[in-house]
Structure 1
Amino acid sequence: MAHASELQRVAPARQRRVGLALAAAVIAAWLTLHVWGVFFHRWSAIDALRVPLLVALQSWLSTGLFIVAHDAIHGSLAPQRPRVNAWIGQLCVALYAGFNFRRLAASHQRHHEAPGTADDPDFHAAAPRTFAPWLYAFFTRHFRWTEFGIVTAVLLAYIALGAQALNLVTFWALPALGSALQLFTVGTWLPHRHGEDAFADHHRARSLRWPWLASLLACYHFGWHHEHHLHPHVPWWRLPSVRRV
């Protein structure tokens, strides 16, 4: 495991600069592709090759919005700047699916206090190994009527502004669903599901020891989940440097 000196190597000011720059890049890229895809994309023959790549990219960027907000929850996005964390975190989860940052932060705190137990809102104690029931419980627990109402209102506004149904499905709905599956599978189910191997400690989390690029593409290194639980103050982009060996 990384030594304490490694964990303290990045000064708060530098961590803020890097974290905010990466957050700005993710938000700007997501907004650009979202607005272009929903309102300005015109379909042509080349889309048979282009659109699957764009959907995959937008799914990954949507995941990035949530990961940035997750760092904001832990205060690791902008260390020593709680208002900046709260503002950017709220922006990201609102863009993601109309979520409330404070409610998500409270839920995530409970997850860290009792991971992999019946008191963990991200855990499915009734089916601690099975993908589908856990995914359903995870989705319905976090995406409530409030979020459904917000997303519906935005959808109606988009239609009123001239967005086409196929564009909405392709560049908004599909990336949102892909991102939800990505976050759940890599960030929750694989690290916390029960298996034949015992967990290392009370965090009840395992890490997915994938190569750096695969880890980044899978979920912004959030597969290094045991390390995250050990060092929740470490932002996503630093997790590979503190992973267990």
Structure 2
Amino acid sequence: MVLKLLLQKHTGILIACTILVAWGSVLWFLLHWDVSFKSPFTYLAVLVMTHLYTGLFITAHDAMHGVVAPGNKRLNTFIGTLCAGLFAYNYYGRLFPKHHLHHRHVATDQDPDYHGGNFFLWFFSFARQYITIVQVLLMAGTYHLLQLWFPVENIILFWMVPSVLATFQLFYFGTYLPHRGEHEHTNKHKSSTQGRNHLWAFISCYFFGYHYEHHDKPYLPWWKLYQEKDRMAKGH
């Protein structure tokens, strides 16, 4: 009974640690892997790492809402900072205020995530908001450092490429799809949502495609959004 209560109380921390350990251990294994471009497993491994990178950012995002370690602000911020930093040296302290601006001013000129242009112009605007020269320099320095121990193809395939793909994934499912055509939305959050398919919602972006649900209840962690989707589907 006590163990069950502890698990319920610290579920967010346990899930965050699971993602961190999975990301680190799978990356370590793949950096040592004998790459074969003829093997489909190489490309599957890239997709797995992309999914884990996305998990890092979603965990950092949940930390911005205080739901990774509720009741322990210092630990919550530490986990968010760590996850953001491991994702191509994103700086949590820079992401935090911009994300809350997005929630307060969704789909307006004051929303740093919003752009009224096409997909590519929107992505360029989005990237410009969050990618800094310092990040690029740190990535370049780490790339050259990693070459001292690991093959170049492994570094590119499993460390660099997945972070780029995950950035597109997060933008497409978490920003572009739910907020495009915001002038057509009549709901108060100016956000659309994916159709109810929990498997696809998890694979595509850790349920973050259930975006109206997230804006409606930002205090729910990513792993509870599917429950909110079910509740709203029943009209409760």
TM-score w.r.t. the length of structure 2 is 0.91
Instruction: Identify the match of residue 35 of structure 2 among 43, 54, 59.
Output: 43
User: In the aligned structure 1, how far is the partner of 2:48 from the partner of 2:35?
Assistant: 18
User: In the aligned structure 1, how far is the partner of 2:200 from the partner of 2:215?
Assistant: 21
Which string of whole-angstrom CA distances, capped at 9 and with x for unpartnered residues, describes residues 13-43 of structure 1?
65542111111111111111212222x1113
User: In the aligned structure 1, how far is the partner of 2:11 from the partner of 2:129?
Assistant: 33
User: In the aligned structure 2, how far is the partner of 1:204 from the partner of 1:112?
Assistant: 10
Match in the other structure for 2:146: 158
**1:16–1:219 distance in 2 versus 1, CA, 3 Å:** farther
What is the CA-CA distance between 1:137 and the residue it aligns to? Answer: 1.1
| Equivalent residues in 2 for 1:162-201, closer than 5 Å | 162-194=149-181, 197-201=184-188
Structure possessing the higher relative contact order (Cα contacts under 8 Å, 6 or more residues apart): 1
189-198 or 223-232, which moves further after superposition?
189-198
Is the contact between residue 107 and residue 182 of structure 2 (CA under 8 Å) also seen in structure 1? no
Q: Does 1:96 align with 2:87?
A: yes
**1:111–1:14 distance in 2 versus 1, CA, 3 Å:** farther
Letter in 2 for 1:218: S
User: In the aligned structure 1, how far is the partner of 2:134 from the partner of 2:115?
Assistant: 22
Match in the other structure for 2:60: 69
Instruction: Report the count of equivalent residues.
Output: 228
Match in the other structure for 1:221: 207
What is the CA-CA distance between 1:48 and the residue it aligns to? Answer: 1.6
User: In the aligned structure 1, how far is the partner of 2:169 from the partner of 2:133?
Assistant: 22
**1:36–1:223 distance in 2 versus 1, CA, 3 Å:** same
**1:15–1:222 distance in 2 versus 1, CA, 3 Å:** farther
| Equivalent residues in 2 for 1:122-137, closer than 5 Å | 122-125=113-116, 127=117, 130-137=118-125
What is the CA-CA distance between 1:213 and the residue it aligns to? Answer: 0.5
Is the contact between residue 179 and residue 191 of structure 2 (CA under 8 Å) also seen in structure 1? yes
Is the contact between residue 15 and residue 78 of structure 1 (CA under 8 Å) also seen in structure 2? no
Q: What is the aligned-residue RMSD (CA, Å)?
A: 1.9
Match in the other structure for 1:207: 193
Q: Does 1:87 align with 2:78?
A: yes
Structure 1, unmatched stretches of 5+, are 1-11
User: In the aligned structure 2, how far is the partner of 1:235 from the partner of 1:59?
Assistant: 20
Letter in 1 for 2:163: A
**1:79–1:123 distance in 2 versus 1, CA, 3 Å:** same
**1:110–1:42 distance in 2 versus 1, CA, 3 Å:** same
User: In the aligned structure 1, how far is the partner of 2:205 from the partner of 2:196?
Assistant: 11
For residue 97 of structure 1, give the secondary structure of its aligned residue in structure 2: coil
**1:90–1:15 distance in 2 versus 1, CA, 3 Å:** farther
Is the contact between residue 35 and residue 42 of structure 2 (CA under 8 Å) also seen in structure 1? no
User: In the aligned structure 1, how far is the partner of 2:131 from the partner of 2:185?
Assistant: 31
Is the contact between residue 16 and residue 77 of structure 1 (CA under 8 Å) also seen in structure 2? no
Would you identify which runs of 4 or more consecutive aligned residues in structure 1 move more than 3 Å? 12-16
Structure 2, unmatched stretches of 5+, are none
Match in the other structure for 2:24: 31
For residue 39 of structure 2, give the secondary structure of its aligned residue in structure 1: helix
User: In the aligned structure 1, how far is the partner of 2:36 from the partner of 2:185?
Assistant: 52
**1:199–1:173 distance in 2 versus 1, CA, 3 Å:** farther
User: In the aligned structure 2, how far is the partner of 1:235 from the partner of 1:157?
Assistant: 35
Letter in 2 for 1:114: H
Instruction: Identify the match of residue 101 of structure 2 among 110, 129, 136.
Output: 110
